Chain A
Amino acid sequence: MHAIALDSKYGVPTVAIHTNVFEKAVQSVTRMHGMSEARYTFVPQPVMGKSAEQLRAYVDGKSPISGRPVMQEVVEGLTRPAEGDRHKEIKFERSTPRLVDSDTDDNLQRLFLENNWTDKLPIVLPTEKRVREMLAQTSHKPDEVAGHLRSNQFRQHWEFTVEQVAVNAVMAGARPEYFPVILALASSGVSARGSTTSSMAAMVVVNGPIRHEIAMNSGTGAMAPYNQANATIGRAYGLLSQNLQGGSLPGDSYMGSQGNGYAYGSVTFAENEERSPWVPFHVQQGFKPTESTVSIFTGCRSTAFTLGVREKYWRQHVQSMLRGMDAHSAPTFLLDPIAARQFIDRGGFDTKVKMIDWVYAHALMPAGEYWDYQLIQNYIYPRATFGEEPYASKLKAAPDEMVHMFKPEEIHVVVVGGETNGYWRIMGCNYQRTVSVDKWR
């Protein structure tokens, strides 16, 4: 992406070197950016952790894609003139047909599966009648633009209408009354099918009166597959993300190395506001208690959990759990109401803010260990070296000096669970935004 900008916008002949697993992704991104002639070559994956000798062998070796010497492709990329006609292969004006060719139920299920329009589970076919029933649950017109999505920052946004969101909502098995929540998610600009090698998933927290109107679960089993609204809203968010952003295909538009089971339902649940001792999450974000919202978190990968908040060593237990998280994904505490009240009893946290302040103060790690994390090297270290605070100050710390793992504004608390016991967990994830559901009624 940067090579495209440097070459086409700044007029500097540029060659990009990628690792071979990104072949299809590079072809797709350069094509979608209108530069199918972009010059690039490939070396083997991985580069990370290799010795100087091994890396030199990559440079001296051949591209695992073309079989030609890497440096020959680099030099030619800087010197060989453009062919000038490859872009003719691209269709520049495209429109997505509203209907799929009519066929039998079985054949359409197969078509949707083979076109990668599903999550590889059977879907509800989006007939005109079903889509119309979904659309009846919003005041917004079917042809109104509902939002834009893309799988990562190197790809261009796709656009979609209210009707296209309804199609995906039907496919997920959602009931029509869930549609305003699904539209709010679609309008957020945040994809549940983000393409990162780290295999992120999204998490969705619903707040306000809509929780009861559509019978969402915030109690026993809220994050498990036991409630139709929780299950199908989360599934719809995933399906609409992949279909309305231009796909989510491994090796092409999805690069998650291991994948992530959380992505099936995007960890979708309602906050247990009634049993929480604190203000609801959406109120913390500036909404009124009477407003209905969805809050989206991304980067869900790491999870730590335990039972209860013990009198003697609770501080050490929490610190150990935090140290076990990857230092790049901030913690969101998902607390059963029993655990929430225990945190008040043990720590005196009569507000969520007090608990967050405590977590910030006690999530510590030696600076040397912190900076050596690969994710910190990739995403935080560059910002620190160019003066961005608080990272720049943290970079000045001696290797054995304790530094904060997270920023206070990155730490969150949500109450969920049915009080069958005082379990709680920390989800490593990044809060993105809270969107009004009422706007989409």
Chain B
Amino acid sequence: MAEGIIGAQKLSVLNPVGFPPKITPKAMAPRLDSLDGKTIYLVDPRFDDSGLFLRQVEHWFAEHMPSVKTKLVEMSSVYTKDDPKTWELIKANGDGAIIGVGH
């Protein structure tokens, strides 16, 4: 059979892609009416000088929204690990959180 004819034949081939996980939608926490008088945790994942960046966010709030109380906390270990202890701390004592710089 000539090569051109082989090239024109239609082939049936299998799909190489796996099965994706079922996505379960998650609800966001209710947002705050305003930040006045609220405590916002600044969470440092301790990656690539993220703490130095959050210091500047802290300064920004002090200058522009002084009624907001900010608390800078470091994650308990490397950013790749979950940190329930810190999340519980924030839930108990804070109104919102900013995590950065994320990876």
The reply to whether B25 and A100 form a contact with Cβ atoms under 8 Å apart is no
The reply to whether B35 and A10 form a contact with Cβ atoms under 8 Å apart is no
Interface string of B17-31 (1 = CB under 8 A from A): 111111111111111
List A151-185 residues whose CB lies under 8 Å from chain B. Answer: 153, 156-160, 163-164, 167-168, 171
The reply to whether B97 and A12 form a contact with Cβ atoms under 8 Å apart is yes
Given contacts A38-B28, A90-B25, A160-B19, whether A10 and B90 have CB atoms under 8 Å apart is: yes
Q: Identify the stretch in A237-245, A343-351, A398-406 within 8 Å (CB) of chain B at 4 or more residues.
A: A237-245
The reply to whether B20 and A2 form a contact with Cβ atoms under 8 Å apart is no
Given contacts A59-B57, A386-B76, whether A157 and B21 have CB atoms under 8 Å apart is: yes
Given contacts A13-B31, A382-B46, whether A100 and B98 have CB atoms under 8 Å apart is: no
The reply to whether A2 and B11 form a contact with Cβ atoms under 8 Å apart is no
- Number of A-B residue pairs with CB-CB distance less than 8 Å in the complex they form: 273
Which residues of B sit under 8 angstroms from A66, Cβ to Cβ?
none
The reply to whether B18 and A108 form a contact with Cβ atoms under 8 Å apart is no
* In the assembled complex, A43 has its CB within 8 A of some CB on chain B: yes
* In the assembled complex, A48 has its CB within 8 A of some CB on chain B: yes
- Least CB distance, A187 to chain B, in whole angstroms: 13
Which residues of A sit under 8 angstroms from B102, Cβ to Cβ?
2-3, 16-18, 22, 26, 40
The reply to whether B13 and A100 form a contact with Cβ atoms under 8 Å apart is yes
* In the assembled complex, A131 has its CB within 8 A of some CB on chain B: yes
Q: B13's contact among A106, A125, A158, by CB below 8 Å, is which?
A: A125
Number of interface residues of A (CB under 8 A): 103
* In the assembled complex, B72 has its CB within 8 A of some CB on chain A: no
- Least CB distance, A9 to chain B, in whole angstroms: 8
List B79-103 residues whose CB lies under 8 Å from chain A. Answer: 79-80, 82-83, 87-88, 90-91, 94-103
Which residues of B sit under 8 angstroms from A97, Cβ to Cβ?
15
The reply to whether B91 and A3 form a contact with Cβ atoms under 8 Å apart is no
Which residues of B sit under 8 angstroms from A92, Cβ to Cβ?
22-25
Q: Identify the stretch in A80-88, A201-209, A363-371 within 8 Å (CB) of chain B at 4 or more residues.
A: A80-88
The reply to whether A167 and B56 form a contact with Cβ atoms under 8 Å apart is no
- Least CB distance, A392 to chain B, in whole angstroms: 12
Which residues of B sit under 8 angstroms from A75, Cβ to Cβ?
35, 65
Q: Which positions in A face B, CB cutoff 8 Å?
A: 2-19, 22, 26, 31-35, 37-40, 43, 46-50, 52, 55-56, 58-60, 71, 74-75, 78-82, 87, 90, 92-100, 102-106, 108, 112, 117, 125-128, 131, 149, 153, 156-160, 163-164, 167-168, 171, 197, 239-240, 243-246, 374, 377-383, 385-386, 388
17 further interface pairs, Cβ-Cβ under 8 Å (given A12-B97, A47-B49, A125-B11): A2-B45, A2-B75, A3-B99, A10-B29, A10-B88, A15-B96, A17-B98, A32-B23, A43-B101, A46-B48, A50-B49, A55-B55, A93-B22, A99-B12, A158-B19, A158-B21, A388-B77
Q: Which positions in B face A, CB cutoff 8 Å?
A: 6-35, 40-41, 43, 45-50, 52-53, 55-57, 59-60, 64-65, 74-80, 82-83, 87-88, 90-91, 94-103
